Amino acid sequence: MTTECQKCHGKCCRYFAQPIETPEDWDDFDDIRWYLCHEHVSVFVEDGDWYLNVENKCRYLSEKDYRCQNYEMRPAICRKYDTDGCDLTGDDYGYELHFLDDKQMEEYMKIKFGSKVFEKLEPKKKKSKKKNDRS
């Protein structure tokens, strides 16, 4: 364990981020809005690429000493990660966009597609039939 890691609470073992397809149309953005309805999920854009970020601690991170309880069998991605520019020592990521919840995405979609963009989600009101309407 490095000196930096000894001072850290295992920041790099408390989330994972997966690239997702760049959204292109309303449906794509609405799918991302659905991701963001879930707790502990955010979406960010870095260097033009979109990522789903899941803030969920690895089951093997000990809360007693912040060490890996699966050290011998830890996945390759864990082995490759080092303290040079890591979550503790690196600068802020400087995301181009960062959505923390679905409401932030709603606002973004209104700007991108127009303020009436969510009207299509509302159920269409049934026309009330007139008494003399035989159809």
Contact set with ligand SF4 (CB under 6 A)? 4-5, 8, 10-13, 58, 60-61, 68, 70, 74, 78, 81, 83, 86-88
> Looking at beta carbons only, is 66 or 113 nearer to ligand SF4?
66
The structure tokens 């879930």 sit at 38
Nearer to ligand SF4, 67 or 108 (CB): 67
CB of residue 61 to ligand SF4, shortest distance in Å? 4
Closest distance to ligand SF4 from the beta carbon of 123 (Å): 44
In angstroms, give the least distance from the CB of 19 to ligand SF4.
18
Judge contact between 83 and 5, C-beta under 8 A: yes
Least distance between ligand SF4 and beta carbon 7 (Å): 7
- How many Å apart are CA 135 and CA 78, to the nearest integer? 68
C-alpha distances (whole Å) from 40 to each of 15, 16, 31, 55, 132 are: 9, 11, 16, 5, 55
State the Cα–Cα distance between residues 33 and 56, nearest whole angstrom.
19
Tokens 């292109």, residue located: 24
Of 66 and 118, which CB lies nearer to ligand SF4 in the complex structure?
A: 66
CA–CA distance, 8 with 17 (Å, rounded to integer): 20
Nearer of residues 12 and 17 to ligand SF4, judged by Cβ: 12
